[in-house]
Chains A and B, each alone.
Chain A
Amino acid sequence: MWSLANPTRFLGIADHVIPWLAVLTFLLLGIGLCLSFFVAPPDYQQGETVKIMFVHVPAAWLAMFGYTLIALASIGSLIWRHPLADVAAKTAAPIGATFAFIALVTGSLWGKPMWGTYWVWDARLTSMLVLFLLYLGLIALWQSIEEPGRAGRAAAILAIVGFINVPIIKFSVDWWNTLHQPASIFRVGGPTIDPSLLTPLFVMAAGFTLLFALLHLIAMRAEILRRRVHALRQVHVERAAAA
């Protein structure tokens, strides 16, 4: 585990893993899309719009997964001051924000034919929107602090504070107003969704998860290289100044 956290070794492994992961991701996403568009039957009530779910639900899961990942990486970066944890937290934020945005947009498109409106101030929607705003805050904080060390620690503190707050926000809005369907997959007594719709959903969820991992690995590699270039430039300037 610790030897993996060495940036150079990480780069080596990432270089090997990324092509395979890319192939696997596109394979799985391809199968998932075929299943959801051509194989899955239309819902008896929702008709074809049920297919929006195959994008919406995995995106929402990964938006939450992304924030959890950031919080865990932030704890790592605060406790062990590890640069790789820092890089992981920084690069996961835009990806997670994108998935949150996708979940919001697809949910809104589904809401128009089903609920008759693009947006309702419902508990789920509101907490997802707040999660998206937390992501934006993290990205803005990263961008406004120039010194990477301080930016990393400040963003880590914010991520952890936000992580404590996410369940509170979730429950506070749950109390408030609810139209969104309750948990229907991971619940006591088994899922309430028919297997013909559930299988494509799980394939899509797996595909999305791999996509997240792939994008994250690529972004982390780019960030490590960017920091190295930055460091090399600084050495260069210092040498030039000394000469």
Chain B
Amino acid sequence: MKEAWALFRRDVVLAWREGGTIGTALGFYLVVVAITPLGLGPDLNLLSRIAPGVLWVALLLASLLSADRIFHNDYEDGALDVLVTGRLPLELVAALKSLAHWVTTGIPLALLAPLLGLLLNLPTDAFPLLVVAMLTGTPALSFVAAVGASLTLGLRRSGVLLALLVLPLYVPVLIFGVATVSAASVGPASPWPPFLILCALSLASLVLAPIAAAAALRTASR
């Protein structure tokens, strides 16, 4: 337990002190959202209608951008080999590192979202649900990204490959995330059903993704 906490703390502190890692994701998120109205024209009605979708797509890309960080540094400096041979189960290591990724990117991105929602003319009464839905959906993103990151460890062009592997797997989170927020901002439908499915997706990936990531780490570190 102490080791697990130490590993989690180490990852969060490293991401924090390294500087740039959290900032880059947030900056990327801001830029993508800011660029969209330039491409679509400044029609506020259109923007408020598509705001949930734009915010979610940008969130997926921003979270993907930092995904190769989950294992890459430890792979480069050999810390991963220590973790593979260490006492902690590798599944737990993968889960903790994904969790640290969520804490250092998922939570900040979700908290930044309302501010960007203002730029897209998203109705303000949808903001609480936007943040809640994003906080609920982002764990799934981090855990699935960990599978992709562990599969592409140490490969050339791993960044592009990671996007190709992981983005199709993000589709359900995107659909139910957007459905939740749209229900609050435009639709007459209740946001509950898609929100509960979003919860289910996060919980399922919390359990299943570390197993796959650990299996991939074993093949990579051999």
Q: Chain B residues near A78 (CB, 8 Å)?
A: 215
Q: Shortest Cβ distance from A7 into chain B, in angstroms?
A: 22
Tell me which of A21-29, A96-104, A135-143, A190-198 binds B.
Answer: A135-143
Is B13 in the interface zone, CB < 8 Å from A? no
- Chain A residue nearest to B214 in the complex (CB): A157
Cross-chain contact A172 with B219 (CB below 8 angstroms): no
Q: A154-B151, A157-B212, A158-B151 are in contact. Are A165 and B164 (CB under 8 A)?
A: no
Is A153 in the interface zone, CB < 8 Å from B? yes
Q: Shortest Cβ distance from A173 into chain B, in angstroms?
A: 7
Cross-chain contact A153 with B219 (CB below 8 angstroms): yes
- Chain B residue nearest to A132 in the complex (CB): B168
Q: A150-B222, A164-B208, A168-B201 are in contact. Are A137 and B171 (CB under 8 A)?
A: no
Cross-chain contact B164 with A150 (CB below 8 angstroms): no
Q: A168-B201, A172-B176 are in contact. Are A133 and B164 (CB under 8 A)?
A: yes
Cross-chain contact B165 with A130 (CB below 8 angstroms): no
| Chain B, 127-169, CB within 8 A of any chain A CB | 147, 151-152, 155-158, 161, 164-165, 167-169
Q: Chain B residues near A158 (CB, 8 Å)?
A: 147, 151, 165
Q: Chain A residues near B220 (CB, 8 Å)?
A: 150, 154
Q: Shortest Cβ distance from A123 into chain B, in angstroms?
A: 10
Q: Chain A residues near B155 (CB, 8 Å)?
A: 144-145
Q: A140-B161, A141-B161, A172-B176 are in contact. Are A162 and B169 (CB under 8 A)?
A: yes
| Count of chain A residues with a beta carbon within 8 Å of a chain B beta carbon | 27
The distance in angstroms between the C-alpha atoms of A172 and B147, with both chains bound, is 21
The distance in angstroms between the C-alpha atoms of A133 and B167, with both chains bound, is 9
Cross-chain contact A130 with B168 (CB below 8 angstroms): yes
* Of B156, B168, B172, the contact of A144 (CB 8 Å cutoff): B156
| Chain A, 59-107, CB within 8 A of any chain B CB | 78
* Of A141, A172, A175, the contact of B171 (CB 8 Å cutoff): A172
| Chain B, 31-80, CB within 8 A of any chain A CB | none
Is B22 in the interface zone, CB < 8 Å from A? no
* Of B161, B172, B212, B216, the contact of A168 (CB 8 Å cutoff): B172
Q: Chain A residues near B209 (CB, 8 Å)?
A: 161
The distance in angstroms between the C-alpha atoms of A158 and B168, with both chains bound, is 12
Cross-chain contact B212 with A137 (CB below 8 angstroms): no
Cross-chain contact A133 with B219 (CB below 8 angstroms): no
Q: Shortest Cβ distance from B51 into chain A, in angstroms?
A: 18
Per-residue 0/1 for B178-222: is the Cβ within 8 Å of any A Cβ (1 yes, 0 no)? Answer: 010000000000000010010001000000110010011001101
Cross-chain contact B171 with A154 (CB below 8 angstroms): no
Cross-chain contact B156 with A173 (CB below 8 angstroms): no
- Chain B residue nearest to A171 in the complex (CB): B172
The distance in angstroms between the C-alpha atoms of A174 and B222, with both chains bound, is 41
* Of B165, B171, B194, B212, the contact of A169 (CB 8 Å cutoff): B171
Cross-chain contact B168 with A134 (CB below 8 angstroms): yes
Q: Chain B residues near A153 (CB, 8 Å)?
A: 215-216, 219
Cross-chain contact A176 with B175 (CB below 8 angstroms): yes
Is A31 in the interface zone, CB < 8 Å from B? no
Is A206 in the interface zone, CB < 8 Å from B? no
The distance in angstroms between the C-alpha atoms of A158 and B164, with both chains bound, is 12
Is A160 in the interface zone, CB < 8 Å from B? yes
Q: Shortest Cβ distance from B201 into chain A, in angstroms?
A: 7
Q: Chain B residues near A133 (CB, 8 Å)?
A: 164, 167-168
Query: Which residue numbers of B lie inside 8 Å of A, CB to CB?
Result: 147, 151-152, 155-158, 161, 164-165, 167-169, 171-172, 175-176, 179, 194, 197, 201, 208-209, 212, 215-216, 219-220, 222
- If A136-B164, A140-B165, A175-B194 are given as contacts, then 9 extra A-B residue pairs at C-beta distance below 8 Å, sorted by A number, are A130-B168, A154-B216, A157-B215, A157-B216, A157-B219, A161-B169, A162-B169, A168-B201, A176-B179
Pairs A–B under 8 Å by Cβ, sample size 21 = A126-B171, A130-B171, A134-B168, A136-B164, A137-B168, A141-B151, A145-B155, A150-B222, A157-B216, A158-B147, A161-B169, A161-B208, A162-B168, A165-B169, A165-B172, A169-B168, A172-B171, A172-B176, A175-B175, A175-B194, A176-B179
Q: Which 10 A-B pairs have the closest CB atoms?
A: A172-B172, A153-B219, A133-B168, A137-B165, A172-B175, A154-B151, A137-B164, A130-B168, A168-B172, A144-B155
